[in-house]
Amino acid sequence: MRRVAVIGVGDTKFGELWDASFRDIGIKAGLAAVEDANISAEKIDALFVGNMSAGRFIEQEHIGALIADYAGLAKDHIPATRVEAAGASGGLALRQGYMAIASGLHDIVVVGGAEKMMDVSDVASAFIQSSAADQEWETELGATFPSLHALIARRHMHEHGTTREQLADVAVKNHRHGSMNPKAQFQKEITRDTVLGSLMVSSPLRMFDCAPSSDGAAAVVLCPLDLAKNYTETPVEIVGSGQASDTLALHHRRDIMTFDATRVAAERAFKMAGVTQKDVDVAEVHDNFTISEILAIEDLGFFKKGEGGKATEDGRTSLDGDVAVNTSGGLKARGDPIGATGLAQAVEIVTQLRGKADKRQVKDASVGLTHNVGGTGATAVVHVFRRV
């Protein structure tokens, strides 16, 4: 198996991008990544695109060919593949690109992720997002996507003593990090009171416990490590890639306070990378809700089960903590254009490992991790990156 490096990254600003279409943002991010990698179009062997639900958000399927076409690659007839696993679509697309190069099938692969969520109403958007859960046995019985995470939060508080304030601390930290990211949807700091005083969505979760809906796209360019120096001075190697699945419905899990898919994907990625949690300087984790980040930092093995809330409260996941978590602002503040999120995580980690994250730079960052989740934990993808 060949070693794989990231040689280019690009993204759009995340947020309400009223003047840009799905194809506009997809091309913008892809072009930025290709320019960053300093490659010409003829070099591109294949394209993978992470996208959850273009069919319902913009009534357009067949996204692989669409993006290849508007990237000007139709005449080259490159293989262009869409990858879907709800919220984990982007991370999964990255893994497909990784495997395509590791296997020796392709040399230069562009992996993008995009979602255009603002072209439908809030209500339609909530319906579409709920399809990441079990439509027939959760949603139709009254559950919403936030309410399923509320069930997790309630039980976590009940069994582990996680406090309402500790959940708020996740959002406060991620907004602080987002305030240092010019691409973030929200660049304002908030306080515990902002969270605790915001509208109730699904108790105990309030509006500021939830990541927003967003438009946005992000992309990376991958190539074999031994070719990487031809394109960039600062390649970042993908040293581990892990993917795992679990029951679609939350109520069928062994334990709803643990995402076993995250645990197993992380074990696989760490084993492959030959590193441990202690080696990780910076991590982008899937904080679609504040409780999700608590679960993530526990299930990834950074903290023991039940201690994620306390660790957050104590600042151990802040920029200068044991492990800097969601330096981009995370899904909460950077925004969560579903299919783009897994790629945006990779863009942030590569930026950190290049030492180019400006005000939010983690000092001497050499090992980074991304963690992308689909649904309420039915899919998880973990990648480990290392500065070369």
Partner 1 sequence: MATAPRFWRQNPSRYNMVGIRCNSCGRNFFPPRAICPVCHRKSVGKMELVKYKGEGRIYSFTEVHDGLDERASLKPYVVAMVELEEGPKVTAQVIDCDPCTVEIGTKVRAVLRKLSEEGDAGVIHYGYKFVPVKEK
Give the binding site for partner 1 (CB under 8 A): 123, 126-127, 130, 136-144, 146-148, 150-152, 154-155, 158, 199-205, 249-252, 256
21 or 147, CB closer to partner 1? 147
Closest listed residue to residue 64, CA positions, set 111, 107, 28, 101: 111
Nearest to 48 by CA among 381, 313, 322: 381
Q: Please, which residue, 205 or 346, has the CB nearer to partner 1?
A: 205
Tell me the closest approach of the beta carbon of residue 290 to partner 1, in angstroms: 14
Min CB(356)–partner 1 separation in Å: 38
Residue 378 CB, shortest distance to partner 1, in Å, is: 14
Please state, in angstroms and rounded to a whole number, the distance separating the CA atoms of residues 174 and 187: 10
- Nearer Cβ to partner 1, position 211 or 283? 211
CB nearer to partner 1: give 250 or 353: 250
- For the bound state, the minimum distance from the C-beta of residue 204 to partner 1, rounded and expressed in Å, comes to 8
In the complex, minimum distance from the CB of residue 253 to partner 1, in angstroms, rounded to a whole number: 9
Nearer to partner 1, 131 or 277 (CB): 131
Q: For partner 1, give the closer residue by CB, 147 or 234.
A: 147
Instruction: Work out how close the CB of 240 gets to partner 1 at its nearest, in angstroms, rounded to a whole number.
Output: 28
CB of 170 to partner 1, least distance (A): 18
Q: How far is the CB of 346 from partner 1 (least distance, A)?
A: 31
Least Å distance, CB 247 to partner 1, is 8
Q: Are 114 and 32 within 8 A, CB to CB? A: no
Query: For partner 1, which is the closer residue by CB, 85 or 205?
Result: 205
Task: Tell me the C-alpha distance between 172 and 215, whole Å.
Answer: 22
Nearer to partner 1, 139 or 318 (CB): 139
C-alpha–C-alpha distance, residues 26 and 71, integer Å: 9
- Smaller CB separation from partner 1, 76 or 140: 140
